Structure 1
Amino acid sequence: MSLLTGKTALITGGSSGIGFVTAKRFAAEGAQVAITGRRGDLVEKATAEIGWGSLGLVGDVADPAHHDRVAEEIAVHFGALDIYMANAGIITIRHSAEVAEAEYDAQFAVNARGTFFGVQKMLPIMRQGGAIILTGSLASEKVLDGHAVYAGSKAAIGAFARTWAIELKARGIRVNVLSPGPTDTDIVNKLGVSPDQLEAFEAGMAAAIPLGRFGQPEEVAEAALFLASDASSFITGVNLRVDGGMALL
């Protein structure tokens, strides 16, 4: 029997990167999967690839009204929710002295507010014994150049998780953080690394990781599957780092 047979899962930011790979992994383990994303074309393409039973919803997680609509759609299509992965996030790398107010607000709106209200709006449709996974970041524990605002927004997620793990204990809902380190997705391009700098950038990052390489999104997805499944049935309130040991250095 597959690990998630009979379960329904929702992954925000599920149209690309770690979210998309995780959505496919959950579906392969028998879950009915819904994803959200901001670009309709990417959501449609991802949903088609995830396969039968999947549902794609377009919107901005920074808008609480979006989560209301998503909860309504999930209730109509699936009846209830077993797994919620708050994965959508954005990053702007900038030294603190150079951070614009709009950049600060955008990162906290998506990364922190989007996570908070997403969980708040999904709780009424979550079944007893469900699992909530919040995508954190290595940056919330390790000082990285130009990451002050991003790190702050991700640190908030850890505080949310610890609080919710206690608040939701009576319902048997487990809440955990999944914190990836450098992962081989298109996020590298979004960081503004030019093609001629890419090799040096990747070599420098690999040297800072004890396992000597970037993580693969499939490896992060496996960790998410662990936290979503009964394999982690006695685990709540933890921060699972999938970073090749980078936080140790």
Structure 2
Amino acid sequence: MTGELAGQTVVLIGGSAGIGLETARRARAEGAQVVLTGRDPDRLALAAQEVGTERTAAFDANDHAALAEFFQGLPGPIDHVLVTAGGPHYGPLLEMDAAQVRAALSGHVVLGLELARHAAGRMRPGGTLLLMGGTGGRRVGHGLGIVSAATAALPPFTPLWRWSWRRCGST
């Protein structure tokens, strides 16, 4: 295949539907090898068939052991990772209990950190890690709950991830 991504490997965490699936379609059209992940094995199999990839893994991205196992099991280096897994929790903040707040923050911040930890050692120089945060971080509102804070917390991780990545031998 020829195209802008020919010879590159794109990993889509949350790639069986929505933005992840559409990105997989585009990456394949541009010549990339695509690895799809998702929680639902049946939906993942349909997405893989549609995209034309045989490389899939069904797991919950918030299961940190499964995430580590996935990256350790990749057969070769990767070039790009897009994370669309997980979703925000909307609702009035004062109606959320502590466990819901922790889960909402973990869904964005800790998932991004864990992905960066596991992907960095597998990525070729010039690779990218793209964390989808959504538009919730652009505004604060009564019905948005913790999503604004969780989304707004992602950008500061980018320079830290780049610094860490360089320290582990990648560029």
1:197-216 to structure 2, matched below 5 A, reads: none
User: Take 1:46 and 1:106, find their aligned partners in 2: how far apart are those partners?
Assistant: 27
Q: Which of 121, 139, 144 does residue 142 from structure 1 map onto?
A: 139
Q: TM-score scaled to structure 1, two decimals? A: 0.63
Task: State how 1:27-38 maps to structure 2 within 5 Å.
Answer: 27-38=28-39
Residue 156 (structure 2) pairs with residue 155 (structure 1): no
Asked whether the 8 Å contact 1:89–1:107 carries over to 2, the reply is no
Call closer, same or farther: CA 1:32–1:149 in 2, change over 3 Å: same
1:73, CA displacement in angstroms?
Answer: 2.7
Gap runs ≥5 in structure 1: 173-249
Q: 1:124-150, CA deviations, whole angstroms, 9 ceiling, x for partnerless residues?
A: 111122111111222212224422311
Please tell me the root mean square deviation across aligned C-alpha atoms, in Å: 1.8
- Greater Rg by CA: 1
Instruction: Give CA-to-partner distance per residue, 1:46-97, whole Å, 9 cap, x none.
Output: 111110x4411111111211111111232x2xx1111111221212211111
Equivalent of 1:99 in 96, 99, 109: 96
Name the TM-score, length of structure 2 as normaliser.
0.89
Distance 2:141 2:163 in 1: 30
Matching residue of 1:117: 114
**2:139 & 2:57 partners in 1: Cα distance?**
34
Percent of paired sites with the same residue: 28
**Uncovered stretches (5+) of structure 2, i.e. residues with no partner:** none
| Mapping of residues 234-249 of structure 1, within 5 Å | none
Partner of 1:16: 17
Q: Does the aligned pair in 2 maintain the 1:137–1:151 contact within 8 Å?
A: no
Distance 2:142 2:22 in 1: 28
Q: State how far apart, in whole Å, the 1-side matches of 2:129 and 2:120 are.
A: 10
Aligned partner of residue 11 in structure 1, secondary structure: strand
Spell out, residue by residue over 1:124-183, the C-alpha distance to the aligned partner (whole angstroms, 9 max, x if none): 1111221111112222122244223112221221111132234435733xxxxxxxxxxx
> Aligned partners of 1:59, 1:107: CA distance in 2, in Å?
19
